[in-house]
Amino acid sequence: MRELDFDKVADVYSSHFTEPFSRGKTPGVVYSGGGTAKLHFNELFYSSEHDLFVYKGLYQGDYCEYYYRHANLLMDFCEEHGVERVYTLGGLGTGVEKKEPETRAVITSPGQASKVRPCAKIHEGKENRPGVTGLSGLLIGLAEKNDMKALSLLGETHGSYPDAKAAKTVLSSLSEILEIDLDLSKLDDIAEQLEEKKEKFKRKMEALRGRGREERGDRRYVG
Going along the chain from its start, the domains and CATH numbers come out as: 1-62 (no CATH), 85-211 (3.40.50.10900)
Angle at 218 between CA 215 and CA 223, to 5 degrees: 150
Alpha-carbon distance of 55 to 215, in angstroms, equals 51
- In DSSP notation, 66-84 reads HHHHHHHHHHHHHHHTT--
Q: What would the mean pLDDT of 27-42 be, rounded to a whole number? A: 88
> What contacts 117, CB < 8 A, 6 or more positions away?
none
DSSP percent split of the chain into helix, strand, coil, nearest 5: 35, 20, 40
The DSSP bridge pattern shows strands 52-56 and 37-39 to be unpaired
pLDDT one-digit tens code per residue, 76-134? 999 999 999 999 999 999 888 888 899 999 999 999 999 999 999 999 877 877 789 99
- 149 with 86: CB under 8 angstroms? yes
Alpha-carbon distance of 44 to 9, in angstroms, equals 5
Helices 134-145 and 64-80, interaxial angle, to 10°?
50
Lowest mean pLDDT among 122-131, 178-187, 210-219: 210-219
pLDDT one-digit tens code per residue, 40-65? 999 999 999 999 999 999 899 888 99
Alpha-carbon distance of 69 to 56, in angstroms, equals 17
- 144 with 87: CB under 8 angstroms? no
Q: How confident is the model at residue 148 (pLDDT cuts 50, 70, 90)?
A: very high
Alpha-carbon distance of 213 to 91, in angstroms, equals 36
Alpha-carbon distance of 66 to 79, in angstroms, equals 20
